Amino acid sequence: MHTWAIILVFCIGIAWSIRLRVSRFRQVLDNTEIKSTPLSLAIQELIAVAGGLYLSLVMLVSFLKIEIPEKLLILNISIDPLAGSAIILAVVQPIFVKLFKNMNY
């Protein structure tokens, strides 16, 4: 399983390197800013919300001195429980906002 993870990280690194080279080439060619796509903006928003939730959860667990496992093993992938919870909450949060918004009208 570790071999696939190494290959995946390597491929992501190559793709990221190519993306940087292409973006630099475009900037030199056009002298304009790189335009954000809706997908990149959505990912940025998700990571920002999940990061805020993660910090809040860490402070809450630390303040209440709650014992949680250091890692969870899900499908042979080790995940930090607080980080996983933060990402799940960040994904589910817009659904609840929409539901509660519709219930009030």
User: Using CB atoms within 10 A of its CB, is residue 9 exposed (0-12), middle (13-18) or buried (19+)?
Assistant: exposed
pLDDT top residue among 66 and 26:
66
Question: pLDDT tens digits, residue range 38-50?
Answer: 888 888 889 999 9
- Please determine, for residue 105, whether its predicted confidence score (pLDDT) is greater than 80: no
* pLDDT confidence of residue 34: 64
- Please determine, for residue 84, whether its predicted confidence score (pLDDT) is greater than 70: yes
pTM for this entry: 0.59
Please list, residue by residue across 40-54, b when 16 or more beta carbons sit within 10 angstroms of its beta carbon and e when fewer do. Answer: eeeeeeeeebbeebb
* Averaged pLDDT, 45-63: 92
Instruction: Enumerate the domain spans of the chain.
Output: 1-35, 36-105
